[in-house]
Structure formats: structure tokens, C-alpha cells
């Protein structure tokens, strides 16, 4: 389970609840999110700039989790190139007992634009010697994962956008790491089965068929990227109303169509462009947490905060 928080006491209690109710075998602390609604509260990718606060949160989570539940940390290079935090974050995570640290090779300002900077992962791996360092950013295939590990020396990879509409990527990674020559390359028929199963699981989760199918619509373009599915059919699939409607439309596809190769690879969704980091006023003036910022962070954890 991944947690986001800006207050050590709140994060501690959240981890205690997860452990007491046996809700997760592994807890990940998210210090990588670049979304303004998170960063304007001082959270996500901008929080590690406040070194003491970052330390207190990670330590609280590790202590609350105990030895039976590993706590990992995910972070970015920093807010921007002039406000880098990944080195300190790695050293702190190692010192307070985190099980591993994952680095997304982009700054908050970059969001998801451009290319991930794997050289930062290399640098972090050379700096951190007691816990695993995991690489994140631009892993679209098993080949990408293997290349990242060879190039950076990292101990493993973390997948984000790469699995959107491509849940078989994890089987592909497992095959690649095991040294198997055969790639996981689903046919159109395989995609139809996977998409249908996705629909079933969403219905089970939401307990509402209409809501589940509306949620599934955004995945259609990702699932069929590179496959011979025309624009009209993609539109029809993206307006499915029921499971029976989905079944009827999937039956119209050329289910024998093979894996289309490189046309499937590459990013999902829009990478966008660099954006100004949205941070609390005065946040970047100092790495120490001011009383005013501490008050705002506490308020951000309240149920009425909207954050």
C-alpha cells in the first residue's frame, strides 16, 4: 500500500492501522508526486526539501511498521535542478531503516516530460550501500528494465505509466530477468480476454457495473495502442455501457491478429511539458520547516482540507 502524508503523527497512525488490520505486506511512502493539489500542501515531490520533516515522517513509518512490514521510499531528483533532494533522501532513508529507496529520474518541474535521467539513479546507487536502490522512469519493456539495471547498477526497477493498458509487462519483466528469450507478446484475442477480466474486477470493486465500465473507458486506447483497431471501433469501445455491450464489441475485433511489435512499445498517455512547481509560499527559502508551514501541514491532514 502506498501512503502520502505531510504530518509524522498522521503517517505513524496510518501505518499502525495498516499493520493492526493486516492490510498490506509492504508500505511505500510517496515522495514523488508532482501534482499541484499535492505539492501546494508541501507534499509529494517537494516534501524532501524539508530535511527534518522528511526524516521524521520516514522514521515514524518505519517504527510503526515494525520488522514485519517493510517500508520503502519513492522520491524524485528534486523540485528542480537547483533544489535537488535525492541524495539526502537516500541517506536519510538508509539511516532510519527503510527497506529500499526508489528514484524517479525526473524533477517535480519535469513532471513526466522528456527522458528520465538515469545518471541520477547511478549516482544514488553509488552513494547508498546498505539498502537496495530501485530505478524508476521510462521502463516500457523488459529490455528497458535490463538496460537500466546494467547502466545504473540499480537493484531493481519500479514501473509506473509503463503498465497502463499493458498489465502483461510484469510477466515480460519476469521473463527478461530470468533470462528467457521469449517475450510476452499478446495477440488481439489475448488483449480482449485481459480487458474483459479488467472489467469484471472493476465491477467487483465498485459493485456498480455502470461506474466500472465508465472507469474502464480511459484504458481502451492504452490497451489497443498499436493494434489494428480503427478509430470508429476505438470510439465505440470507449463508450461501452455494460458488460454485454463490451462483449458484443470485442467479438467484432480480429481476435487472431498477432502482436504488432514495436508499435505497442513506448509511453502511454501524454508526457506533457515541464511545469512550474506549485509549492507553499516561502517553501524553498530554507530546508528547515517554519512554524507557519508546520501549521499549514497539520491543517492539510484534516478531513476538511480537501488535500
Active site residues: 33
| C-alpha span between 145 and 156 (Å, rounded) | 8
State the number of CA atoms in the 13 A half-sphere of 91 facing the CB. 7
Q: In the chain, what is the straight-line distance between the N-terminal and C-terminal CA atoms, in Å?
A: 19
224 three-state secondary structure: coil
H helices of the chain, in order, are: 8-20, 36-39, 51-65, 86-96, 118-127, 142-152, 169-177, 188-206, 209-216, 220-223, 231-237, 243-250, 291-300
The dihedral over CA atoms of 249, 250, 255, 258, expressed in degrees to the nearest 10, equals 110
Task: Look at residues 81, 55, 19, 115 and name the one whose alpha carbon lies nearest to residue 73.
Answer: 55
301 three-state secondary structure: coil
Instruction: Residue 160: count other Cβ atoms within 10 Å of its Cβ.
Output: 16
Q: List the helix and strand counts (H, then E) for the chain.
A: 13, 6
Task: Look at residues 237, 230, 227, 233 and name the one whose alpha carbon lies nearest to residue 265.
Answer: 227
7 three-state secondary structure: coil
Task: Look at residues 66, 60, 97, 72 and name the one whose alpha carbon lies nearest to residue 1.
Answer: 72
Q: Are 47 and 74 in contact (CB under 8 A)?
A: no
92 three-state secondary structure: helix
Helix or strand run (H / E) with residue 2:
strand 2-3
Amino acid at each position: 500500500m502506498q501512503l502520502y502524508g505531510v504530518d509524522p503523527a498522521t503517517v505513524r497512525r496510518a501505518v499502525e492501522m495498516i499493520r493492526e488490520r493486516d492490510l498490506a505486506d509492504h508500505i511505500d511512502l510517496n515522495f514523488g508526486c508532482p501534482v499541484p493539489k499535492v505539492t501546494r500542501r508541501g507534499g509529494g515531490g517537494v516534501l524532501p526539501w524539508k530535511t527534518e520533516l522528511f526524516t521524521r515522517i520516514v522514521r515514524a513509518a518505519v517504527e510503526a511498521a515494525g520488522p514485519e512490514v517493510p517500508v520503502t521510499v519513492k522520491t524524485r531528483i528534486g523540485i528542480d535542478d537547483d533544489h535537488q533532494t535525492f541524495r539526502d533522501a537516500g541517506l536519510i532513508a538508509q539511516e532510519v531503516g527503510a527497506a529500499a529507496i526508489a528514484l524517479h529520474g525526473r524533477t517535480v518541474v519535469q513532471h513526466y516530460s522528456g527522458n528520465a535521467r538515469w545518471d541520477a539513479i547511478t549516482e544514488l546507487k553509488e552513494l547508498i550501500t546498505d539498502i537496495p536502490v530501485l530505478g524508476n522512469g521510462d521502463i516500457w519493456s523488459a529490455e528497458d528494465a535490463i538496460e537500466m539495471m546494467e547502466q545504473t547498477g540499480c537493484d531493481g526497477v519500479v514501473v509506473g505509466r509503463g503498465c497502463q493498458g499493458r498489465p502483461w509487462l510484469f510477466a515480460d519483466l519476469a521473463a527478461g530477468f530470468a533470462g528467457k528469450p521469449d517475450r510476452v507478446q499478446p495477440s488481439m484475442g489475448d488483449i480482449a480476454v485481459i480487458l474483459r477480466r479488467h472489467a469484471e474486477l472493476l465491477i467487483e470493486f465498485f459493485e456498480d457495473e455502470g461506474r466500472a465500465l465508465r472507469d474502464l473507458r480511459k484504458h481502451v486506447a492504452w490497451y489497443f495502442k498499436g493494434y489494428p483497431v480503427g478509430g470508429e471501433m476505438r470510439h465505440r469501445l470507449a463508450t461501452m455501457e455494460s458488460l454485454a455491450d463490451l462483449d458484443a464489441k470485442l467479438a467484432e475485433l480480429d481476435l487472431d491478429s498477432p502482436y504488432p511489435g514495436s508499435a505497442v512499445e513506448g509511453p502511454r498517455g501524454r508526457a506533457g511539458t515541464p511545469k512550474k512547481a506549485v509549492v507553499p509560499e516561502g517553501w524553498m527559502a530554507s530546508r528547515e520547516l517554519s512554524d507557519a508551514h508546520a501549521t499549514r501541514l497539520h491543517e492539510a491532514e484534516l478531513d476538511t482540507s480537501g488535500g
